[in-house]
Structure formats: C-alpha cells, structure tokens
C-alpha cells in the first residue's frame, strides 16, 4: 500500500495547524466559553467537540471526493476541485461573514455541529483535496500499472487513505487550537485581538484561490 511521499502528510499536518490559527475556526469560541465560566476546564472541554466537528467536515469532503474518484480519472477530477476552490475563495474574498451562534450555553453536540458548519463554510475540506490528488498521482507514478489503471485507478479512493489523512489533518488542527486557546486564556487575554489583528479571512481567501490555480497544474 503506497499513498505517496511524506511531503503530503506533512502538508496535511501544516494545513491543520493553519486552520487552528484562525480564531473563527474554534479557539476564539473555546476561550470565550472559558471566560464565561471562568474555568480553564471549559476551554479544554470544548476542544474535543470542536476538533470532532472540524474532522467530520474534512472527512465528509474527502469521502465524497473519493467516491467521485472511483469513476472519474484524476486528470478530470482536479477540474471541479479547482473550480470549487476558486469559487469559495472568491466568495470569501468579497463576503467574509460567519454563521452566528444564538447563545453561549452549548453542549457537546451543539459545539460539534457549530465546528462542522464553520469548517464547511470556510471550505476547509477542499483545501485537503489537492494534497490527496498530488499524493495519489505520485503513488501511481511510482508503481507499474496498465494504461487503463493509470487512467482510472488511484489510491485517492482508498478509504484508508482518506481516514488517515483526516486524522493527520485534525491532529495538527487540535494541537494548534489547544495551544493558542490556552495561551490566550491563561497569558494573553482577548485584548490582543484588538492590538495585533491579522485578517486571516483575507489570507484564507487568497490561499483558496491560489490552491485552486495550483490544482489545475497537478
């Protein structure tokens, strides 16, 4: 079983870490819950459902793309992936509003759903697909296949690859989200967001667009 080189797994891990940096992806909510309850346990308790929701969003996109990849050659599958990335990036570039939560008294299920919707709204799962496409192409190139297998077969549709990719990505996300949430709650405070704010939404929109263009040249 070959899923390409280590560069792909490292990229998935770093993408997860980048998602964790974005306050809209979860750590800001975790800190807000902690400050509301005046408890660091509330911060820690919120991390698991937030990570599960994020991972579920990633996994859903990977699963759908894997099913499509079983009938569509890689060279054609990358076209709709690139199109979706470009569309999401353009949308977020001109309209960066987020879904609003009605209240802060939320349970495990509600927080998981919120995280799933936020990751989906950001198009997080679609940023993973170009990496998996590249890893699949590399795995195919390193093996001996018939012309028909090269055209239609790919490890991208292997559910094990999708599962491992989702876990690796979510692990990177969880670690960075947890570290930032702890630092902000314990050491820094939310005041830093007013003093040193980086427009991560604008950066994310640009990343979506650039990744979409890159995908076309895989």
10-19, 116-125, 136-145, 171-180: least confidently modelled range: 136-145
CA 164/CA 16 separation, integer angstroms: 13
100-114, 134-148, 160-174, 180-194: least confidently modelled range: 134-148
Q: Give 101's DSSP letter.
A: P
Q: How far is CA 188 from CA 19, 22, 44, 177, 196, in A?
A: 20, 16, 17, 15, 12
- For residue 84, pLDDT over 60 is answered with yes
Q: Is 1 part of a structural domain of the chain?
A: no
- For residue 101, pLDDT over 60 is answered with no
| Single pTM value for the model | 0.74
Provide the residue range defining the domain that includes 32. Answer: 6-215
CA 202/CA 84 separation, integer angstroms: 17
| Cβ proximity of 16 and 192 under 8 Å | no
Residue 31 phi/psi, 5° resolution?
Answer: -65, -40
CA 101/CA 52 separation, integer angstroms: 18
Q: Is 27 part of a structural domain of the chain?
A: yes
Q: Is 166 part of a structural domain of the chain?
A: yes
pLDDT tens across 12-34, in order? 999 999 999 988 788 888 888 88
| Number of domains observed in the structure of the chain | 1
As a whole number, mean pLDDT of residues 158-184 equals 90
Q: Is 100 part of a structural domain of the chain?
A: yes
Q: Is 207 part of a structural domain of the chain?
A: yes
Which residue, 97, 124, 115, is CA-closest to 48?
Answer: 115
């Amino acid at each position: 079983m070959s899923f390409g080189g280590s560069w792909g797994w490292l990229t998935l891990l770093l993408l997860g870490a980048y998602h964790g940096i974005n306050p809209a992806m979860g750590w800001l909510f975790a800190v807000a819950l902690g400050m509301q309850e005046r408890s660091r346990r509330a911060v820690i308790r919120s991390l698991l459902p937030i990570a599960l929701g994020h991972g579920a969003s990633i996994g859903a996109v990977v699963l759908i793309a894997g099913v499509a990849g079983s009938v569509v050659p890689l060279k054609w599958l990358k076209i709709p992936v690139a199109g979706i990335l470009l569309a999401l990036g353009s949308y977020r570039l001109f309209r960066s509003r987020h879904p609003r939560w009605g209240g802060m008294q939320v349970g495990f299920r509600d927080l998981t759903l919120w995280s799933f919707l936020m990751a989906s709204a950001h198009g997080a799962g679609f940023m993973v697909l170009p990496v998996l496409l590249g890893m699949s192409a590399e795995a195919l190139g390193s093996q001996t296949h018939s012309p028909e297998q090269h055209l239609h077969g790919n490890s991208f549709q292997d559910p094990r690859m999708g599962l491992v990719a989702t876990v690796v990505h979510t692990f990177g996300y969880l670690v960075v989200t947890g570290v930032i949430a702890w630092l902000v709650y314990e050491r820094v405070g939310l005041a830093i967001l007013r003093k040193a704010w980086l427009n991560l939404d604008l950066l994310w929109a640009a990343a979506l667009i650039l990744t979409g263009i890159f995908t076309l040249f895989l």
